[in-house]
Structures are given as structure tokens and as C-alpha cells.
Chain A
Amino acid sequence: MTDEKLVCSNITKVYGKKEVLKNVNLELEKGKIYGLIGRNGAGKTTGLSMLSAQNPASTGMVMLGKEPVWENRKALNHICFSREINAIGANGQGNGSRVKDYLRAASWYIPNWDKAMADRLVKEFDLDVKKKVIKLSKGMLSMLTIIIALASKADYTFLDEPVAGLDVVMREYFYRILLEEFSESGRTFIVSTHIIEEASDVLEEVIMLDKGQIILKEDTQALLERARHVSGKEDVVDAATRGLHCLHEEKIGRSKGVTVLLNEGEHVQDNAELSVQPVNLQQVFVAMCKE
């Protein structure tokens, strides 16, 4: 077990001519569930693969405490980013690996592998271990990734869209076992997802990524408390929101709606002329990404 922070400084990643990550700085603490939210192509997966040293960064450095993560098994033993299954399944021609081969490999490679937990989850997910990985459906692949991530017992565990392809019941089940494992172990999880509202109550902190840059990292509840949607007649709204940090605005005729992030001490009062409504995490995210 380590209580060190995972710190990523000035990470830039360039693929060809495309800058996928631009000078990203991030500090992750032990014992939190982080949500990584971003649109397709925002750099979520690339970011996670830099943090776990699965891909080399163009510039910058990731450190676990005093240990650099790159090519350092001492640091890597505390980190698990289980994702590759999907990619290998997609272009692995004729490689006949089965689910049980993957689980066996995991038991060899992952230092704190919890076999009992893996077995239990396989049973509960009703996953056929004899099935070839390339023949798994999207949902079953998600399950396999989840099993490896949870049973890895790694201090820093990354889940890249773990619920993609899972049905509602399975998604709820996943968040339940994630919380169960989290509260028992105090591990750190980073979960990226597009289904924001479902995850919003689970995420202690949210990290928003847009076009390769972190645009926000904040305690989820604190963020929601200072995010408001103000609507009414245009001049009334303008007067009420003057000087506030405005994320996004929309106009229809004389009507106007503005999503604002209030800073400490700022306030917008709901009255007869003005509707001030709370917004959810998804709405904050959409407002931040719309230009």
C-alpha cells in the first residue's frame, strides 16, 4: 500500500501532428473516486495511459511520490489501468485467447491479485470463462475489464468507460460494487464515463477534459452548489448576471438563459422576474463544452 500522490506534470502527447494532450497538470490523492469527463477525442484514454505509463508522453513526467512511473515496476505495481482487452480483441487476428487466459495472465502480473474476488465477480456477472475474448460482446468486455480492475487491488485504479455496453441493471450493480470496494479498501479510482448523471453521486471529485486540457477539477458537490441556471427576460438576466462567471448562454426572442458558476460570496436571487435553477453535473459539463 502506498499513500503517495500520483502527480502528472506538464504532460503533452503528440500523435503525428495532433496534440492530444496539452500541458496537463494533475494531482491525484489516495482514497478518492475521481470522475474523468470529456467528449469523444478529448484525450481521456490517452491521459489515463500516460498516468499508467502504458504509452510514452511526448514531454512531461508522471510521479508516484518520489518514484517516476515510466518503466518503473516499483511504481507500476501500485497502478492498474485495465483496458487493453478491447483493443486486442478488435485487431488480434486469430489469437485464441479466452477469458480464463486473461484472468490467468492477470494473476501472474498483478502483485496483489485477489483471485477470490475475481472468481466471485465472474460468477455474478455470469461471464463464460471459456469464451474467446474476440467473441465477447461489448458488455462482456466491459465486465472483464471491470473484474481485472477491481480484483487488481491496485492503489490507483483507472476504469475507462467501464459501463459502456452494460445494461442499466448491470451499471447500477457496477457502481454498487465499486463503492463497496472503495469504502473497504480506500483505493483511488478514476472512472471515465459518458453517462454522467448516473455516476454523479458516486464521484467525489470531477475532472473535466476538453480538447486535451483540464478545464476543471473540483469537488462534485461544491461544483453543483455554485452552478446555477438563470433565465428570464434578456435585460433582467443580463443585469442579474453582470460580472459573474458565465459558462454558456442561450437566447430565444426576448428570453435568455445563462449558466453561471458563482464564486464565493456571489449570489443570484430567484424572484418574480427571474428563474434561478440548480443544474446537474451533466448540464454543467454540456454548458462548459458548448461554444
Chain B
Amino acid sequence: MNEILTQEKSIYLQISEMLENDILRDILLEEERVPSTNELAKLYAINPATAAKGINILVEQEILYKKRGIGMFVKTGAKTKIKKRRQSEFFDKYVKKLLEEAKSIGITKEELVVMIEESK
């Protein structure tokens, strides 16, 4: 929750990603309360509506859920869910880009595979 917001991406996307990271890193545990919209707004000096938008993305993905009158909580199984989703996005988000860049500077697929195998 201490990451810095940048201008490269929409703020609400950064908020939801930050919460996801925190869940992956065991900073937020399952069935634990996450900061409310207003708390997030205050923390990052952003509009509460923007913070709410970030949280809603996670609610829609069933990573967070609302306990009436208490607040937002991390759902059991959220960590696995996030990992799974990120795995499914991995090819599009990273591998594709990697291949494109390699191609543009003349690194062949074979060379790339060697590089990956050699790296730890």
C-alpha cells in the first residue's frame, strides 16, 4: 500500500494493482479488512470516486467482497485467483512484448531461449 502513484497509467488501475500486489505479498491476508475508499483517498490524496473505481474492479473479479456495515474484505482464495489471472495475462503482457523487442533488434527465438535457460 506504500507504492507511489505515477502518471503512466490510470490511477484507479494502479490502486487495484497495488491491492493485488499486497495480497500476493501477504501484506493483506485473506478474510482481512482492506482500507476503505475514504482511507485510500486520504492516503494517496486522490478523489474517493477514483479510489472506489479501483476497489470495484476487484469486487467484480470477486477478489474483494463487501461486509455490510463493516467494510471491504479479501475473499478466501483471492491470492490464487489473482495468480491465475496474471498467469493467463502473462503471454500477452510480457512474452509478446519480449518477442517483439527481440525481433526488432535481431535476436532470434533460439538465442532468446538460450538466454532464458542461462539466466537464474
Contacts and interface: CB of A to CB of B under 8 A. Distances in A.
A adjacent to B, CB under 8 Å: yes
A254 B26 contact: yes
A232 B27 CA distance: 8
Chain B at the A interface: mostly helix, strand, loop or mixed? loop
Interface size range of chain B in the complex: 10 to 19
A10 interface: no
B114 interface: no
Interface residues of A, number: 19
Interface string B14-54: 00000001101111100000010000000100000000000
A252 B4 contact: no
B2 A252 contact: yes
B88 interface: no
B26 A250 contact: no
B118 interface: no
A253 B25 CA distance: 13
B1 interface: yes
B31 to A, nearest CB: 14
B3 A253 contact: no
Contacts of A272: 24-25
B16 to A, nearest CB: 15
B27 A255 contact: yes
B2 A257 contact: yes
A252 B3 contact: no
A213 interface: no
